[in-house]
Amino acid sequence: MLRPLRAEVNALLAATHSCRKPALRRSDAPCALLATDLPFAADAAAVEEFIARAEAAQWRVTRAENGWLLLDKDVPTPKAEIPEVAGGACGRCISVLLRHQEDGDARVWIRRIITAQDAGERALERMCMQLHRELAAMLRQHQPLPGALLPYLAEAYATYAMRRETQ
């Protein structure tokens, strides 16, 4: 899910004059998908030009305390089929959300799922273990669960389930 978004930002960065190729990586911030060190590779005018082009392409750009630019964009809802039975921590999260579909805030978790999926199967499983603990806590406290996560979890699960089947 992150690959096409990364390609879009790479195209924006390539059109920006800089003294070196800026770094682009998954963001560690829960409010953003990607981060770039463009301010360290280009002058202020080029950075402002990049920000204007990124915002015109529907990206939200914020400056992090470390000087990097954080980039976020609404991610289209995947069309993945939601499995009724799935294994691992991802499957446990899917199971809980299938039984308790509610309208809790999912924005931060969507970003975490996408960046974890991009980081690999182990990162996704670790993130899903944490999500499962959070979902259990929400249930105990009678808080609404982020039901909008289901298609994102199903997409992430399907990505790695298909890889395992072909190996």
Strand-pairing partners, residue 27, are none
As a whole number of angstroms, the distance between CA 14 and CA 30 comes to 26
As a whole number of angstroms, the distance between CA 149 and CA 92 comes to 13
Residue 53's nearest CA partner among 32, 31, 38, 75 is 38
pLDDT at 166: 44
Q: Are 144 and 138 in contact (CB under 8 A)?
A: yes
pLDDT at 163: 52
Q: Are 64 and 35 in contact (CB under 8 A)?
A: yes
Residue 33's nearest CA partner among 65, 60, 66, 67 is 60
As a whole number of angstroms, the distance between CA 116 and CA 109 comes to 10
**How many beta carbons lie within 10 A of that of residue 87, not counting itself?**
12
pLDDT at 165: 46
pLDDT at 161: 67
Q: Is 9 helix (H, G, I), strand (E, B) or coil?
A: helix
pLDDT at 129: 95
Instruction: Per-residue pLDDT tens, the chain, 167 aa: give them.
Output: 788 899 999 999 999 999 999 999 999 888 899 999 999 999 999 999 999 999 999 999 999 999 999 999 988 888 878 777 778 888 899 999 988 878 878 888 999 999 998 888 899 999 999 999 999 999 999 999 998 899 999 988 888 764 554 44
- Residue 31: what residue type? C
Residue boundaries of the structural domains of the chain: 3-72, 88-166
11 alpha-carbon distance from chain centroid = 19
